[in-house]
Structure 1
Amino acid sequence: MIADEMRHRLEALAPTWLEVIDESHLHAGHAGARPEGQTHYRVKMSAQAFADLSRVERHRLVIRTLGDIVPRIHALALELASD
């Protein structure tokens, strides 16, 4: 499952709080949605790794950490905070 893969990879950033939410069901019938789901995700995360990073740098770090998962999904919303 993609959400499990995402959680596993994001653990490398030592989050103090991590939520990976599959929101695919909210986008059924929309562009990029697939009948089997696993297309739209929201990540809510807090980590010390974000402390001195701008919002853009935080997003880039998460995207790099997720690696080849990103091209397999249609949408990724990020809510990132530092500790």
Structure 2
Amino acid sequence: MPSIKETALKHGLSPDAPVVSFEDVSISFEGNEVLRNVSFTVMPGETRMLLGPAGGGKSVLLKLVDGLLKPDSGRIFVFGEEI
């Protein structure tokens, strides 16, 4: 399995940029706020865990990273590229 840095270089992205970065990301569904002003950064080699109750926004956060959902506000970066 290729490393994160190898994958970044293969796609012409900076291997030293954060793997994922959220800047004040918010998203709501039908008036229900799911995520509000979420900010975090994951650097190469770091591991993070998502914990929370059912309906807490864990799956929504991952769908935002995958580009399956778009935030109402804020910015998301993958390897330094805004998605």
TM-score under structure 2 length normalisation:
0.28
Q: Radius of gyration: which is bigger? A: 2
Q: Which has the higher strand share?
A: 2
TM-score under structure 1 length normalisation:
0.28
